[in-house]
Structure 1
């Protein structure tokens, strides 16, 4: 046997040992501490699923539609609502500017998340859990219990509602993490509710903002106000062979709306637009907002959740903060009756968060397969 073949066999054996000892389940950051020069097989995607980092694909940048909160709150609201509706229909994504969230809250959230990922593995591992409804969960990949190929990501997910119930379960280290997440979650929650009102109005479910009285008692908004919120900090270490893997594979978000704080220095978010993958061009001091599966169901398909994925970088690590919002965990998501008629028949089954958790626990999450499982195959099928 040649020396090269012996070396290859030894490498494969070592990788198998890593799998058997669950080293990959400890996360990408832990793995990178071993001084990787090549990508382990566990992270190498099949050839057809790899990102094509060429001028035909990865180098194509996209500027998303801009939605200005100042316009939504001003005399030009009608025009802003039209732009919002168009963005949700044609892109499923938009950039939100003039959002009003204090820069201190944003910086504190980013710095606290970075410090968490810098903690020793023994400290981070205290929050590992297979329970997808846990108030705090540290993990890796997308669904490490089901993924055949792992993606190049570590994450911490923090359930943020109600804060009084979940706060005691959050990490106490780094010391500033809890307060940073509390402040950030409150501000993003207020921003989401403002957007939810605009979404309802753009769908014609509320005639004008005046229909919502000063106490916010519009029936449609009551469930939104008590809805769930999940803050997810994503960490993508630099990768030795970024053309062989992804930070997150193609997927759609399960909820109503996601407010994403992207890394402004390291691009990586791609969306599928007009049949091809395009890289989102970051806009300073903005959020990237995207339609989730629940909003697609609620709007009976008028607004659509769109496939997106994350590239990794060969030289720099990357981090993003996502705030995922939807109705309460025990709510039933269904097409709004006002959006169902003979011309636009009901397109989706009722669903709830428990159904999503059950699906995620038993399936590898790929593309929009959860939403497809809720799609009606024939009219009248409930």
Structure 2
């Protein structure tokens, strides 16, 4: 059985006439709040050009990857070969989904028959207790990999082809990075 508030989407709560601030259930105490954008802006995440990693004589980019993995463990990828237009299609298609009427979005809902919650689909995160702090967003969570475990009934029709193509392209980029990492490890 799901929690009684599981079906209260943020869109519905926010539409409440007279609501001037998120309900206390959505307020995180000051000490538990994440760092601000201004604090995060001081961090400079390393950038690695994947196209350069593919060049056998580019020892500089390989050294940057090694250093980045040893110090940060993450990096921004450039030179991945995906066009800016293609990458811009994904947030645009997602925006279109979130601007659909609620009834349309709920066709991809993550609560089944009002009794079974599952991560995949449109909705809010799982609610396990009355004291749980909730996130102020409705979300769409989709499993992309492995492909044979995709549950397309939760995928909006306007996103299916685009996400499939993005997953293939991301897999290609991932393999290029993994090859470069393997080369670093001999």
TM-score band, normalised by the shorter chain? 0.7 to 0.9
How far off is 1:113 after superposition?
0.9
How far off is 1:76 after superposition?
4.1
The whole-number CA distance in structure 2 between the counterparts of 1:138 and 1:166 is 15
The whole-number CA distance in structure 2 between the counterparts of 1:184 and 1:53 is 30
1:50 aligned partner: 33
Which string of whole-angstrom CA distances, capped at 9 and with x for unpartnered residues, describes residues 109-154 of structure 1? 111111111122222223214234xxx422324x444681112333
Q: 1:131 and 2:118 equivalent?
A: yes
Alignment of 1:132-281 (within 5 A): 132=119, 136-141=120-125, 143-145=126-128, 148-163=132-147, 166=150, 168-173=152-157, 176-202=158-184, 204=185, 207=186
Alignment of 1:366-381 (within 5 A): none
Unaligned runs of 5+ in 2: 112-116
Q: 1:29 and 2:16 equivalent?
A: no
Find the partner of 1:88 among 69, 72, 76: 69
Which string of whole-angstrom CA distances, capped at 9 and with x for unpartnered residues, describes residues 221-270 of structure 1? xxxxxxxxxxxxxxxxxxxxxxxxxxxxxxxxxxxxxxxxxxxxxxxxxx
The whole-number CA distance in structure 2 between the counterparts of 1:113 and 1:183 is 15
Instruction: Give the TM-score, by structure 2 length.
Output: 0.76
**Other structure's SS at 1:26 match:** coil
Bigger share in helix: 2
**Other structure's SS at 2:25 match:** helix
Which string of whole-angstrom CA distances, capped at 9 and with x for unpartnered residues, describes residues 310-331 of structure 1? xxxxxxxxxxxxxxxxxxxxxx
Using a 3 Å threshold, how does the CA distance of structure 1 residues 170 and 70 change in structure 2: closer, same or farther? same
**Conserved? CA contact 1:105–1:183, under 8 Å:** no
Using a 3 Å threshold, how does the CA distance of structure 1 residues 153 and 198 change in structure 2: closer, same or farther? farther
How far off is 1:60 after superposition?
4.5
Q: 1:98 and 2:98 equivalent?
A: no
**Conserved? CA contact 2:50–2:79, under 8 Å:** yes
The whole-number CA distance in structure 2 between the counterparts of 1:25 and 1:90 is 43
The whole-number CA distance in structure 1 between the counterparts of 2:47 and 2:179 is 18
Bigger share in strand: 1
**Conserved? CA contact 1:137–1:157, under 8 Å:** yes
Q: State the structure with bigger RCO (CA 8 A, min sep 6), 1 or 2.
A: 2
**Other structure's SS at 1:156 match:** strand
**Conserved? CA contact 2:14–2:22, under 8 Å:** no
Unaligned runs of 5+ in 1: 1-19, 208-382
Using a 3 Å threshold, how does the CA distance of structure 1 residues 169 and 21 change in structure 2: closer, same or farther? closer
**Conserved? CA contact 1:138–1:155, under 8 Å:** yes
Q: 1:121 and 2:102 equivalent?
A: yes
**Conserved? CA contact 1:25–1:144, under 8 Å:** no
Which string of whole-angstrom CA distances, capped at 9 and with x for unpartnered residues, describes residues 259-283 of structure 1? xxxxxxxxxxxxxxxxxxxxxxxxx
**Conserved? CA contact 1:70–1:98, under 8 Å:** yes
**Other structure's SS at 1:93 match:** coil
